[in-house]
Amino acid sequence: MTGSELTNIRSPRVKAARRLAKRAFRDRDRAFLAEGPQAVREALAREGVVVELFTTAEAETRHPELIAAATAAGVPVLRASGEVMAELAQTVTPQGLLAVCRFVHVPLAEAVPYTVGREAARRDGEAGTARLVAVLAHVRDPGNAGTVLRVADAAGADAVLFTDASVDPYNGKCVRASAGSLFHLPVATGVAVERAVGHMKAQGLRVLAADGAGTATLDDVDLSGPTAWIFGNEAWGLPEELLRLADEVVRVPIYGRAESLNLATAAAVCLYASARAQRGT
Using CB under 8 A, list all residues that contact a copy of itself. Answer: 38, 147, 150-157, 177, 179-181, 184-185, 219, 252, 254-262, 264-269, 272-273, 275-276, 279, 281
Q: In angstroms, what is the minimal distance from the CB of 151 to a copy of itself? A: 5
At residue 125, the 3 state secondary structure works out as coil
> Can you say whether the dihedral through the CA atoms of 275, 249, 113, 143 is positive or negative?
negative
Instruction: Measure the N-to-C terminal CA separation of the chain; round to a whole number of Å.
Output: 50
Residue number with CB closer to a copy of itself (87 or 153)? 153
CB closer to a copy of itself, 59 vs 268: 268
Least CB distance to a copy of itself at residue 62 (A): 16
DSSP 50-119: EEEEEE-HHHHHH-HHHHHHHHHTT--EEEB-HHHHHHH--SSS--SEEEEEE-----HHHHTT--TTHH
**Radius of gyration of the chain from Cα atoms?**
20
Closest distance between a copy of itself and the C-beta of residue 185, in Å? Answer: 7
* Cβ atoms < 10 Å from Cβ of 9: 16
Q: Which residues pair with 137 in a beta bridge?
A: none
CA angle 270, 130, 213 (to 5 degrees): 30
Task: Please report how close the Cβ of residue 184 comes to a copy of itself at its closest, in angstroms.
Answer: 4
Q: Which is nearer to a copy of itself, 18 or 181 (CB)?
A: 181
Amino acid, single-letter form, for residue 165: A
Distance CA 277, CA 205 (A): 15
CB of 264 to a copy of itself, least distance (A): 6
Nearer to a copy of itself, 10 or 257 (CB): 257
CA 183, CA 103: separation in Å to the nearest integer? 10
Q: Which is nearer to a copy of itself, 121 or 269 (CB)?
A: 269
- Residue (of 75, 81, 68, 135) closest to 102 by Cα position: 75
Nearest to 130 by CA among 146, 150, 108: 108
Closest distance of CB 37 from a copy of itself, Å: 12
Cβ proximity to a copy of itself: between 138 and 251 the closer is 251
66 or 84: CB nearest a copy of itself: 66
Nearer to a copy of itself, 69 or 269 (CB): 269
